[in-house]
Amino acid sequence: MDASHIADDLTHVLYTDAQIQARLAEMAVELDEVYKDKNVLMIGVLNGAVMVMADLSRHMTSHVENDWMAISSYGSGTQSSGVVRILKDLNTDIHDRHVLVVEDIIDTGLTLSYLISNLLSREPASLEVMTMFRKPDAANNDVEVKYVGFDIPNEFVVGYGLDFAGKYRNLRDVGTLAPHVYS
């Protein structure tokens, strides 16, 4: 889906598909160098990281393995409950593996902080975090993120895996959702 198809739902486009793909290609070069001899396992955080991990994997020239986790820090509403739960765990043993956690967006960092603690208890050889988007003004947990695609404003954004009520994940661009859509 292109932003032009839903122009009334967005206040503006932050990053186009072309900009996102160019940044992923740059990050892939760096990651290929870092993990060239290390048999990296990329762990995607469902559902939002599907687009990022698929495209990042395709930009890389080295072999990578993929696995997925589903984590929730939300109850039935739109506000975080403060309780983090694993909804789907890994199928892969990460003991002594080089692990790269791939996120679509880091907002407050609550869920990621829990995830990192959980994964470190499994004793990987190394553990780093990559996110396509980060909201530095929203962060309230000290989580080290080594690879960041773009820092974005603390706005309600959709597209490229980011959703509102299950919609907009297939938007190729990332844009700020118009308040009339979620009010």
Enzyme catalytic residues: 107
CA 55 distance to own-chain centroid: 12
Locate all alpha helices (DSSP H) within 90-148, ordered by sequence: 110-120
Contact 111, 73 (CB under 8 A): yes
Contact 56, 28 (CB under 8 A): yes
Between strands 147-151 and 126-134, the pairing is: parallel
Q: What DSSP designation does 6 have?
A: G
- C-alpha 166/C-alpha 103 separation (Å) is 17
The residue type of 89 is D
The residue type of 77 is G
